[in-house]
């Protein structure tokens, strides 16, 4: 893993624009697995050389912990501050001697780089303004948070994945619709609406998604800013060391996914409740089967091959009740700890194999929630090796009957692609990998 | 929309009559509400055509505008309306009672606040727009209007703004108030039609709710509840009468034409007027006692009203046209907080609302089957209890968000969840909220045999965020806004 | 295609096909999966008349006062050679339009037949399209054509097409008002879908004459009255997603074969037969043969909605899409039966039955005497 990082032009551009450009901000868009945290790490070190403390903002504590570990590992001579809430249990991974952990900001004065969640940066608000900030997962941050945070830096790089889910609020009012500073948008959307001249750059290659995976994801969710799979990552391989007894559809789906990166495991057409018992059972069975069969993989991280372990498998769903039903199902298997989560919470994570319960499976009508492109994008772009999508037959008809286009209020920009288009495009791709469950 | 309310809709459709959704009323109902039924002039940009208004079912006042493009008539209409609002609101701003003595001494709060009822959500929007069209006017200068008009505009704007807060009861859409408590056998889209909703809930004798609701769909028989008028009324009645009014050759002829218009508008409004009072009466029914937190929410309304009264009395300015970045962020915090409080309080007040959380496995009701009240971990008191429930819980060991409605400051951690057929045993570790003695304060640890409810609802006090001053609005949000000053144009904007 | 047209003609009977306007086309987008509506619209059947004949009339008719007011505002904006409009397009929208004239394509020398008007529009617009420069002309009332289920449908929009920066823009004057930059959501939604129909039609026109369809901008421009005064306000909105939705919906309209193949050969919805007026019962029996997809939103957009709703009584569809989704069953009888335990769940219904029984149990326990 100690390969010298060669920053892509986009990262160098962003640094130049941030330090010398006419605008106080710059956006670095990062498609799934495009090396976002590596870029953030590089940028933090680069800016630290200017002599002033660099502030890094992430959205969740686990994002912060991951970044701190990564940034600290680059250069033991650079002190990295982990600014925490009082009483936060810092994980053991942050034991390096150049990591300084404190819950009071003045105690971090000697750190060259300080990392904290947005919430921590705001509690209490740091009154002295720093010259640089790098805001990670900036599309997950809400505009009102940025409004408060902006007093803590002179210039900032906003890094994040524009294809993921927008931030959320329990209130739904339209009094701010059309305002450039509407607090209900993402931080990046608000900043760009107020500063249309802010430059944007994009990381061009995904290190997570292999070529056969990157293309459909790029086509469906990033058609206007396509990306490709990084060729340097070399070949990916996944295989089953044992032949399956019999030839069950589940085994065929797993084998197909191992060979092709995708499988679309289709159950018979039926309208169901959200917690469709057959679909839940199929998801559980697939996850268990992948592990039971001792699935092996080989990639740049494991050049000699490695067995897929339960912590490298995840199950993604749209609704919390589906999550609960699947967890209940898994509890009775040998692998009760496989991660099951909703799209919102899977954002930013990465696994070797991801099994997805398609949001439209068994539905009668496609609602805006089910069609949201960010949701499907998150679910189908978490995997390094294979993604198995489980769904009831009938989704093409469902989409066909709902060619919807969300209204665009005055003074706002529509989302491209919209949810319908993205769903349709991905489905066309998946149909080619269909394995029928019966 | 939850399965419980959907099931109630199915029953309503099956039995052709509305079904109850709640055990209690979740809305404060004033002893002296102001009912406001507006009609807008078709085709005009939000121009009032008529308003029926009053605090007693027997004595509505009818205000009409025969010519909405005539500024004098608009001003006269607004002036009369403003008088009615002032007569309703001003006494309430004056009568104040002392409440809790804070660091700054005794605080006084208005003892009552206005409660304005409109037929539906479009009526709320009508109030908002009418507020917008009147609050920026000036009482001096070339385009002067009577002073009470901009004051009314500020109040209407306040009411419409307040209506965005979950659980606020100062501006109420009758359809929403009814469908919060009853499920009809029709869709939510159709539920915005007040006569139909009332048809489902209280059909005339000998008629099913469905038939009563369907009968109300014919606008010739039952005029719509506004603010949009029935197009066939526009085409067949109003348009010819307006033409006659315009062509009137003498003041007398014009008065006759105007009387006819008023007569016809009264006919359009009468039915809705009575239905509004029918809705209020239904909600006052003793079978719908107020939930325990209804009063608490009304007190929040009283606080907001008191602040607004002071502001309107002392500030020469009006609410701006749109929110600034800083104000919008602050308001979002308060709206989110109101929503969370509203959701939690309704669940605490009403087992039917709590049942929605039980349906999705995020709350349960059960019986304590084991308790170790004096258990300590190190020096800390950490009682353990085990609750047996048949609710389908979806929570796992490690969950630390469960609270009892009666004891919200007591925290819990789920130690284990054991299933035995349909029965689930939940083992909980308790901390805090038990007093500082050696043993838990009596009543703070449930005893074996007690029936308990645990849910994820809590009154989570999150400190209001520190926001920049408006003049420090950062570049990310457009920089400091230009201070808003009402312009000449605002003063002279016609109503249509 | 000929065969299809013949069958559709037979369904309609002797009357002239009802021409669809953009409003009708755009409202199909709200429920494109409805075979009944698609078939009736494709056949050009007058749904308003038909709904009356089967005694399920649609009540809402346009208010003349609304129409008059809209026409008045439009006239104001377009007066004096579109002077106000031009100022808006230049100053508020930032289009560069050289010295401009207003040309109304509605009136051409004497001959106002549909085809002649269409040819005239084609001729004028393609000439500008061919030119490297932006023509300085505001083309009012272009006559457009699209193909719906094999029929040529002519559209006569109240719009202005103007070329600026090498692109054609569609400019529509609307009568809903904008207050402090915000317009009513439902009005905006409808306007955008209609504009999308026009963008699509204009693209078809140019494409069929050898031009690149990118020549028509994705952005439509709306001109509305603002803030209680008649000073016009212009907004530029990207309707690319709407155009895509309209295109897909029109493609679907061509695919009526499956529906038609399931209908008896002699079926017709002509209101009059050889023996005089057809009875409501006869017409309804025919309609029942065509599968519909009722949703409550149809009540605002389709003349047949009240009939469909009465047909669907007992189906969970009448309760709305979200409720139906939650109930996950087709009929109200199933929902109530499973909830009360008076009906045995089918193999597909076991889980839902359990949830419903639980919900019913809470209702019984907690509401008890109040129910």
Hey, what domains does chain C have and what are their CATH numbers? 2-58+256-290 (no CATH), 64-250 (3.90.320), 319-370 (no CATH)
Q: How far apart are CA B133 and CA C179, in angstroms?
A: 10
Band (pLDDT 50/70/90 cuts) for residue B301 is very high
Site from B1, B13, B129 to mutate, C interface, most C CB atoms within 10 angstroms: B13
| Higher local confidence (pLDDT), B138 or C197 | C197
Query: How distant is the Cα of B438 from the closest Cα of chain C, in angstroms?
Result: 39
Asked if residue B357 has pLDDT above 70, the reply is yes
Average pLDDT (C234-260) is 84
Q: Say whether residue C4 is in contact with chain B using an 8 A CB cutoff.
A: no
Determine whether the interchain pair B336/A187 forms a contact, defined as Cβ–Cβ distance below 8 Å. Answer: no
Average pLDDT (A1-22) is 86
For residue B35, whether the previous peptide bond is cis, meaning omega lies within 30 degrees of 0, is: no
3-state secondary structure B429-456: EEECCCCCCCCCCCCCCCCCCCEEEEEC
Counting residues of chain B whose pLDDT is more than 70, the rounded percentage is 97
Band (pLDDT 50/70/90 cuts) for residue A65 is very high
H or E element that contains A100: strand A99-102
Closest CA to B14 of B212, B189, B217, B208: B208
Contact list in C for residue B229 (CB cut-off 8 A) is 63
Band (pLDDT 50/70/90 cuts) for residue B493 is low
pLDDT digits (tens, 9 = 90+) for A106-145: 999 999 999 999 999 998 878 888 999 999 999 999 999 9
pLDDT at B496: 39
Find how far residue B110's CA is from the centre of its chain. Answer: 19
* β-bridge partners, B50: B39, B64
pLDDT digits (tens, 9 = 90+) for B396-412: 888 999 999 999 999 99
ipTM: 0.91
Most confident of A133-142, A270-279, B239-248, C9-18: A133-142
SS3 B277: helix
Determine whether the interchain pair B478/A324 forms a contact, defined as Cβ–Cβ distance below 8 Å. Answer: no
Q: How far apart are CA A158 and CA A137, in angstroms?
A: 8
Contact list in C for residue B493 (CB cut-off 8 A) is 227-229
Nearest to B336 among A122, A146, A170 (CB): A170
Q: How far apart are CA A279 and CA A417, in angstroms?
A: 28
pLDDT at A364: 86
Q: Return the CATH class of domain A211-436.
A: alpha beta
Nearest to C360 among B7, B231, B287 (CB): B7
- β B451-455/B363-372 pair status: antiparallel
pLDDT at C108: 59
Question: Is C362 in contact with B20 (CB distance < 8 Å)?
Answer: no
Q: How far apart are CA C59 and CA B219, in angstroms?
A: 7
pLDDT digits (tens, 9 = 90+) for C184-224: 988 899 899 999 999 999 999 999 999 998 899 999 999 99
Nearest to A411 among C181, C348, C350 (CB): C181
Task: Give me the total of CB pairs closer than 8 Å, taking one residue from chain A and one from chain C.
Answer: 96
Counting residues of chain C whose pLDDT is more than 90, the rounded percentage is 34
Mean pLDDT of chain B: 92
Band (pLDDT 50/70/90 cuts) for residue A399 is confident
pLDDT at C61: 73
Average pLDDT (A19-35) is 93
Q: Say whether residue C227 is in contact with chain B using an 8 A CB cutoff.
A: yes
Contact list in A for residue C324 (CB cut-off 8 A) is 364-365
Q: Locate A389 and state its tokens.
A: 């999508």
Asked if residue C326 has pLDDT above 80, the reply is yes
Determine whether the interchain pair A122/B468 forms a contact, defined as Cβ–Cβ distance below 8 Å. Answer: no
Give me the helices (H) in C88-219, please.
114-130, 185-207
Question: Is A3 in contact with A176 (CB distance < 8 Å)?
Answer: no
**Opening angle at CA C239, ends C234 and C241, nearest 5:** 160
Q: Locate A102 and state its tokens.
A: 């404190």
**Opening angle at CA A166, ends A164 and A168, nearest 5:** 140
For residue A417, whether the previous peptide bond is cis, meaning omega lies within 30 degrees of 0, is: yes
Determine whether the interchain pair C69/B43 forms a contact, defined as Cβ–Cβ distance below 8 Å. Answer: yes
pLDDT digits (tens, 9 = 90+) for C115-150: 788 888 888 888 888 887 766 678 888 888 888 777
Contact list in B for residue A24 (CB cut-off 8 A) is 475
Band (pLDDT 50/70/90 cuts) for residue B71 is confident
pLDDT at A51: 85
Contact list in B for residue A122 (CB cut-off 8 A) is 465-466
* β-bridge partners, C167: C164
Band (pLDDT 50/70/90 cuts) for residue C85 is confident
Q: How far apart are CA B395 and CA B416, in angstroms?
A: 10
pLDDT at C277: 85
Determine whether the interchain pair A146/B476 forms a contact, defined as Cβ–Cβ distance below 8 Å. Answer: yes
Question: Is B386 in contact with B427 (CB distance < 8 Å)?
Answer: yes
Q: How far apart are CA B271 and CA B263, in angstroms?
A: 14
Alpha-carbon radius of gyration of chain A: 22
Asked if residue A3 has pLDDT above 60, the reply is no
Site from B1, B10, B230, B319 to mutate, C interface, most C CB atoms within 10 angstroms: B10
Question: Is A27 in contact with A196 (CB distance < 8 Å)?
Answer: no
H or E element that contains C72: helix C64-87
Query: How distant is the Cα of A405 from the closest Cα of chain C, in angstroms?
Result: 5
H or E element that contains A325: helix A320-331
Interface of A with C (CB under 8 A): 174, 177-179, 270-277, 363-365, 367, 400-411, 413-414, 416, 418, 420-421
Lowest mean pLDDT among B334-338, B447-451, C85-89: C85-89
Q: How far apart are CA C139 and CA A305, in angstroms?
A: 68
Which residue's entry shows tokens 């920089």?
A: B479
Average pLDDT (B67-87) is 91
Average pLDDT (C218-233) is 88
pLDDT at A46: 94
Nearest to A363 among C248, C325, C350 (CB): C325
3-state secondary structure C2-68: HHHHHHHHHHHCCCCCCCCCHHHHHHHCCCCCCHHHHHHHHCCCCHHHHHHHCCCCCCCCCCHHHHH
How many helices and strands, by DSSP H and E, does chain C display? Answer: 15, 10
Find how far residue B424's CA is from the centre of its chain. Answer: 38
Determine whether the interchain pair B332/A169 forms a contact, defined as Cβ–Cβ distance below 8 Å. Answer: yes
Average pLDDT (C307-321) is 94
pLDDT at B485: 63
Asked if residue C151 has pLDDT above 80, the reply is no
Scanning every residue of chain B, which has its alpha carbon at the shortest distance from the alpha carbon of C339? B7
pLDDT at C338: 97
Residue A200: C-alpha distances to residues A10, A156, C174, C281 (Å): 9, 12, 36, 64
Band (pLDDT 50/70/90 cuts) for residue C347 is confident
Determine whether the interchain pair A195/B476 forms a contact, defined as Cβ–Cβ distance below 8 Å. Answer: yes
Mean pLDDT of chain A: 91
Q: How far apart are CA B452 and CA B459, in angstroms?
A: 18
Most confident of A117-126, C12-21, C56-65: A117-126
Nearest to B231 among C60, C319, C359 (CB): C60
Q: Name the burial class of residue B401, with classes exposed (0-12), middle (13-18) and buried (19+) by CB atoms within 10 angstroms of its CB.
A: middle
Question: Is A5 in contact with A42 (CB distance < 8 Å)?
Answer: yes
Band (pLDDT 50/70/90 cuts) for residue B144 is confident
For residue C28, whether the previous peptide bond is cis, meaning omega lies within 30 degrees of 0, is: no
Closest CA to B174 of B354, B291, B37: B37
H or E element that contains A10: helix A9-20
Give me the helices (H) in B142-233, please.
148-162, 174-179, 194-201, 209-215, 231-233
Closest CA to A34 of A14, A11, A50, A59: A11
pLDDT digits (tens, 9 = 90+) for B199-230: 999 999 999 999 999 999 988 899 999 899 99
Q: How far apart are CA B408 and CA B426, in angstroms?
A: 19
pLDDT at A365: 82
SS3 A238: strand
Q: What phi and psi values does residue A342 have, to the nearest 5 degrees?
A: -80, 165
Closest CA to C176 of C224, C222, C221: C224
Determine whether the interchain pair A409/C240 forms a contact, defined as Cβ–Cβ distance below 8 Å. Answer: no
Fold (CATH) for A9-203: Rossmann fold (3.40.50)
Closest CA to A167 of A407, A33, A347, A349: A347
Scanning every residue of chain B, which has its alpha carbon at the shortest distance from the alpha carbon of C230? B496
pLDDT at A2: 46
Which residue's entry shows tokens 């995840």?
A: A314
Band (pLDDT 50/70/90 cuts) for residue A403 is low
Find how far residue C218's CA is from the centre of its chain. Answer: 19
Question: Is A392 in contact with A361 (CB distance < 8 Å)?
Answer: yes
Alpha-carbon torsion, ordered C43, C44, C49, C52, to 10 deg: 40
Average pLDDT (B305-332) is 93
Q: Say whether residue A102 is in contact with chain B using an 8 A CB cutoff.
A: no
Find how far residue C118's CA is from the centre of its chain. Answer: 22
Which residue's entry shows tokens 């130690």?
A: B415
Closest CA to C286 of C36, C21, C23: C36
Band (pLDDT 50/70/90 cuts) for residue C23 is confident
Band (pLDDT 50/70/90 cuts) for residue A1 is very low
Determine whether the interchain pair C33/A178 forms a contact, defined as Cβ–Cβ distance below 8 Å. Answer: no
Residue ranges per structural domain of chain A: 9-203, 211-436
pLDDT digits (tens, 9 = 90+) for B123-135: 999 999 999 999 9
Scanning every residue of chain C, which has its alpha carbon at the shortest distance from the alpha carbon of A419? C241
Q: How far apart are CA A117 and CA A85, in angstroms?
A: 9
Question: Is A297 in contact with A342 (CB distance < 8 Å)?
Answer: no
pLDDT digits (tens, 9 = 90+) for C32-52: 788 898 889 888 888 989 999
Question: Is B206 in contact with B307 (CB distance < 8 Å)?
Answer: no
Nearest to C319 among B10, B231, B238 (CB): B10
Interface list for B 265-284 with C (CB within 8 A): none
Q: How far apart are CA B81 and CA B127, in angstroms?
A: 12
Query: How distant is the Cα of C109 from the closest Cα of chain A, in angstroms?
Result: 39
Closest CA to C222 of C248, C249, C184: C184
Query: How distant is the Cα of B195 from the closest Cα of chain C, in angstroms?
Result: 16
**Opening angle at CA B493, ends B489 and B496, nearest 5:** 155
Which residue's entry shows tokens 């249509």?
A: B496
Q: Which residues contact A176 (CB under 8 A, 6 or more apart)?
A: A182, A183, A184, B323, B328
Nearest to A411 among C185, C235, C325 (CB): C235
Give me the helices (H) in B321-387, please.
325-349, 351-359
pLDDT digits (tens, 9 = 90+) for A348-357: 889 999 999 9
Scanning every residue of chain B, which has its alpha carbon at the shortest distance from the alpha carbon of A142? B329
pLDDT at C276: 81
Same fold, A9-203 and A211-436: yes
């Amino acid at each position: 893993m100690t390969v010298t990082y060669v920053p892509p032009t986009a990262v160098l551009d962003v640094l130049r624009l941030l330090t010398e450009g006419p605008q106080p901000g710059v956006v670095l868009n990062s498609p799934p697995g495009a090396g976002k945290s590596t870029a953030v790490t590089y940028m933090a070190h680069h800016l630290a050389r200017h002599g002033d403390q660099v502030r890094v903002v992430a959205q969740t504590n686990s994002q912060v912990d991951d970044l701190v570990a990564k940034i600290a590992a680059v250069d033991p001579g650079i002190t990295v501050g982990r600014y925490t809430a009082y009483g936060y249990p810092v994980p053991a991974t942050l034991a390096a001697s150049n990591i300084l952990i404190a819950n009071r900001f003045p105690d971090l004065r000697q750190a060259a780089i300080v990392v904290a969640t947005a919430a921590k940066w705001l509690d209490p608000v740091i009154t002295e303004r720093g010259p640089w900030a790098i805001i990670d997962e900036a599309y997950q941050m809400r505009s009102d948070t940025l409004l408060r945070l902006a007093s803590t830096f002179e210039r900032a790089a906003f890094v994040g994945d524009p294809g993921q889910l927008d931030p959320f609020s329990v209130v739904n009012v339209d009094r701010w619709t059309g305002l450039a500073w509407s607090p209900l948008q993402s931080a990046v959307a608000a900043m760009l609406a107020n500063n249309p001249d802010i430059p944007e750059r994009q990381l061009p290659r995904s290190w997570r998604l292999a070529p056969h995976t990157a293309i459909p994801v790029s086509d469906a969710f990033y058609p206007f800013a396509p990306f490709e799979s990084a060729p340097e990552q070399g070949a990916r391989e996944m295989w089953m060391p044992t032949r399956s007894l019999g030839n069950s559809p589940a085994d065929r789906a797993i084998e197909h996914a191992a060979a092709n990166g995708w499988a679309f495991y289709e159950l018979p057409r039926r309208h169901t409740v959200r917690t469709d018992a057959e679909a839940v059972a199929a998801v559980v069975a697939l996850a268990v089967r992948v592990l039971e069969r001792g699935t092996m993989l080989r990639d740049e991280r494991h050049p000699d091959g490695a067995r897929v372990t339960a912590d490298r498998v995840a199950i993604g769903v749209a609704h919390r009740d589906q999550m609960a039903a699947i967890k209940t199902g898994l509890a009775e298997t040998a692998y009760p700890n496989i991660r099951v989560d909703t799209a919102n919470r899977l954002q930013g994570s990465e696994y070797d194999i991801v099994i997805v319960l398609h949001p439209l499976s068994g539905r009668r009508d496609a609602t805006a929630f089910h069609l949201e492109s960010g949701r499907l994008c998150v679910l189908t772009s978490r995997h390094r090796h294979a993604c198995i999508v489980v769904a009831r037959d009938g989704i093409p008809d469902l989409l066909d009957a709902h060619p919807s286009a969300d209204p665009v209020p005055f003074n706002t920009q529509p989302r491209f692609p919209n949810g319908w288009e993205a769903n349709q495009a991905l489905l066309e791709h998946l149909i080619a990998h269909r394995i029928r469950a019966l | 929309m939850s399965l419980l309310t959907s099931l109630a809709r199915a029953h309503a459709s099956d039995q052709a009559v509305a079904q109850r959704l709640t055990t209690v009323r979740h809305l404060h109902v004033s002893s002296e509400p102001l009912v406001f039924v507006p009609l807008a002039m078709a085709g005009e940009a939000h121009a009032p055509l008529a308003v029926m208004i009053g605090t007693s079912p027997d004595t509505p006042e009818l205000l009409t505008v025969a010519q909405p493009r005539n500024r004098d008539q608009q001003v006269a209409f607004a002036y009369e309306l403003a008088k009615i609002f002032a007569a309703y609101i001003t006494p309430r701003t004056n009568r104040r009672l002392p409440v809790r003595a804070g660091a700054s001494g005794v605080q006084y709060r208005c003892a009552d606040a206005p409660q304005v009822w409109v037929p539906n959500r479009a009526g709320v929007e009508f109030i908002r727009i009418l507020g917008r069209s009147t609050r920026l006017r000036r009482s001096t200068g070339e385009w002067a209007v009577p002073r009470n008009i901009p004051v009314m505009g500020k109040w209407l704007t306040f009411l419409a703004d307040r209506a965005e807060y979950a659980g606020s009861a100062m501006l109420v859409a009758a359809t929403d108030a009814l469908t919060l408590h009853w499920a009809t056998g029709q869709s939510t889209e159709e539920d915005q039609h007040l006569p139909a909703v009332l048809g489902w809930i209280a059909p005339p004798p000998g008629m099913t709710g469905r038939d009563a609701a369907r009968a109300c769909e014919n606008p010739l028989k039952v005029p719509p509840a506004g603010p949009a008028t029935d197009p066939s009324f526009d085409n067949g009645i109003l348009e010819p009468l307006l033409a006659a009014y315009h062509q009137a050759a003498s003041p007398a002829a014009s008065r006759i034409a105007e009387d006819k218009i008023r007569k016809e508008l009264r006919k359009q409004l009468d039915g809705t007027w009575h239905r509004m009072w029918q809705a209020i009466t239904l909600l006052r029914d003793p079978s719908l006692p107020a939930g325990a937190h209804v009063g608490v929410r009304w007190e929040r309304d009283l606080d907001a009203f008191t602040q607004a009264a002071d502001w309107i009395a002392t500030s020469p300015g009006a609410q701006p046209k749109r929110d600034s970045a800083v104000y919008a962020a602050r308001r979002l915090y308060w709206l989110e907080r109101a929503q969370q409080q509203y959701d939690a309080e309704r669940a605490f007040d009403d087992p039917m609302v709590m049942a929605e959380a039980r349906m999705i496995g995020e709350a349960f009701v059960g019986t304590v089957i084991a308790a170790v009240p004096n258990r300590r971990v190190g020096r800390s008191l950490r009682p353990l209890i085990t609750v047996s429930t048949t609710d389908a819980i979806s929570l796992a060991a490690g969950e630390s968000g469960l609270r009892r409605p009666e004891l919200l400051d007591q925290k819990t951690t789920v130690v284990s969840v054991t299933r035995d057929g349909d029965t689930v045993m939940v083992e909980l570790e308790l901390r805090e909220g038990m007093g500082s003695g050696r043993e838990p304060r009596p009543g703070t640890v449930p005893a074996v045999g007690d029936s308990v409810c645990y849910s994820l609802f809590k009154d989570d006090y999150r400190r209001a965020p520190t926001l920049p001053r408006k003049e420090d609005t950062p570049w990310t949000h457009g920089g400091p806004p230009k201070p808003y000053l009402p312009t000449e144009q605002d003063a002279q904007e016609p109503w249509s | 295609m000929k065969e299809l047209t013949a069958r559709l003609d037979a369904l309609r009977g002797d009357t002239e096909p009802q021409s669809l306007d953009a409003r009708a086309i755009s409202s199909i987008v709200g429920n494109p999966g409805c075979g009944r509506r698609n078939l009736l619209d494709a056949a050009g059947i007058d749904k308003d008349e038909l709904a009356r004949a089967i005694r399920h009339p649609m009540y809402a008719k346009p208010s003349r006062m609304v129409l008059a007011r809209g026409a008045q505002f439009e006239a104001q904006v377009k007066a004096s050679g579109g002077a106000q409009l031009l100022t808006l397009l230049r100053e508020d929208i930032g289009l560069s339009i050289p010295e401009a004239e207003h040309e109304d394509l509605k009136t051409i020398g004497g001959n106002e037949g549909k085809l002649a008007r269409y040819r005239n529009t084609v001729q004028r617009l393609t000439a500008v399209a061919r030119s490297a420069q932006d023509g300085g002309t505001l083309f009012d009332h272009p006559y457009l054509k699209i193909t719906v289920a094999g029929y040529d449908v002519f559209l006569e929009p109240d719009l202005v097409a103007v070329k600026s920066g090498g692109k054609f823009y569609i400019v529509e004057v609307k009568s809903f008002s904008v207050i402090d930059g915000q317009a009513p959501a439902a009005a905006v939604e409808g306007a955008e879908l209609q504009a999308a129909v026009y963008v699509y039609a204009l693209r078809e026109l140019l494409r069929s004459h050898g031009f690149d369809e990118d020549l028509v901008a994705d952005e439509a421009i709306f001109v509305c009255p603002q803030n209680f005064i008649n000073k016009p306000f212009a907004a530029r909105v990207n309707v690319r997603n709407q155009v895509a939705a309209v295109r897909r919906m029109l493609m679907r309209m061509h695919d009526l074969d499956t529906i038609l193949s399931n209908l008896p050969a002699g079926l017709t919805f002509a209101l009059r037969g050889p023996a005089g007026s057809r009875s409501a019962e006869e017409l309804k029996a025919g309609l029942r043969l065509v599968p519909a997809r009722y949703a409550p939103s149809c009540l605002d957009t389709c003349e047949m909605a009240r009939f469909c709703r009465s047909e669907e009584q007992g189906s969970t569809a009448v309760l709305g899409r979200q409720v139906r989704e939650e109930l996950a069953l087709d009929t109200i009888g199933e929902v109530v039966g499973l909830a009360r335990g008076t009906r045995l769940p089918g193999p597909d219904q076991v889980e839902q039955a359990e949830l419903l029984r639980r919900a019913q149990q809470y209702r019984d326990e907690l509401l008890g005497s109040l129910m």
